[in-house]
Amino acid sequence: MTAAPPLLALPYTVPELDGLWPEWRTGLVDGYRWMVLGRALDRRMLGLQRQGRVGFYGPATGQEAVSIGVALALTTADWVFPGLREQLLMLARGHPMGTYVDHLFANDRDPARGRQMPCHPTGRDVRYVSMSSVIGTQITQAVGLAYGLKLRHEPGVSLAFFGDGATSANDFHAGLNFAGVFGLPVLFCCTNNQWAISVPVDRQSHVKELAQKAVAYGLPGHRVDGTDLVAVHIAVRDALARIRSGAGPELLEFVLYRMTPHSSSDDPTRYQATDWASQARVHDPVPRVEALLQTLGALPDALREEIGRTADEIVKAAIADAEAIPQPDPASLFTDVLAPKGPGGP
């Protein structure tokens, strides 16, 4: 297994960071807080699923640097069309943790009222479109929204997230082709975690780098170390600046390593090599940014311990609150289905 090439060699130096990211001290510490929170959320929710207290969970362990590196680069005008593991990005943009956990429990406060598959949230408040387990459909949806933004001369960029397997889907071809022809404000974000559920990336495509696929549609394609928070943030920030200036869509391939089962319904021991998990942990983005902050003197032990403790408390409190809320009344299954009877109604 080969590590993705970082944009800059680690550890970064203070002059490098000052030149690339003037607010790096605040940004990196805040990013680290969110990454630790995401890790705590995954740990707790996967445990609850194993206990039968929630029905399904898709952990994003190992992908935190991508979600937070992107979140730090967005504006409120941007839209996110997630794949399966971008829930931390939604939270970092301001969607309440409690609302998300309500959704995971499918309780009576769940915005979807239990009608959507758990771990497939919608964050309309932060322009985060509902997840779907159908491979690649969000790509063309993101392109459609970008087309609307362009026609209406509205600000904002549409971001489409998808895994390595989705680059073999029809929507990938249709989406990139249409976006390229019409020069739409779209950033295609491929989170290459090496596995399309149980199919390794080298059995999905013969290209050495999935970013090369952008060339066929006339788009720039760049490969980024998806385990490096700084590299992700800089790559996304610069790509968004070019897109906002009217340069057209781009594709970023974030190379990272899946550190958990595909979902709570998966058993990776049936198809992964026995040493995969241990090798993947070498590329864990959370201790990587932690080590960087400590090297730069920006994360004293007391702050690190406070961040970890606070993350656990936030998740535990949200779970306790959500679990105390009853399930939706079965009769609610028929609400929001038909328009009220009246003039123009049924």
Enzyme catalytic residues: 258, 262, 271
Both tokens of residue 60? 């994003």
Whether residue 205 contacts residue 270, with contact meaning beta carbons closer than 8 Å, is answered with no
As a whole number of angstroms, the distance between CA 182 and CA 23 comes to 35
Provide DSSP, 108-147. TT-TTTT-SPTT---BGGGTBPPP-SSTTHHHHHHHHHHH
Whose tokens are 């937070």? That residue is 68
Please report which residue ranges of the chain form alpha helices under DSSP H: 14-20, 24-50, 64-71, 87-92, 97-105, 137-152, 170-182, 229-244, 276-281, 285-295, 301-323
Residues near 285 by beta carbon (within 8 Å), at least 6 away in sequence? 35, 62, 63, 64, 65, 226, 227, 228, 229, 256
- Strands 199-200, 79-81: pairing is unpaired
**Structure-token pair, residue 298:** 């920006």
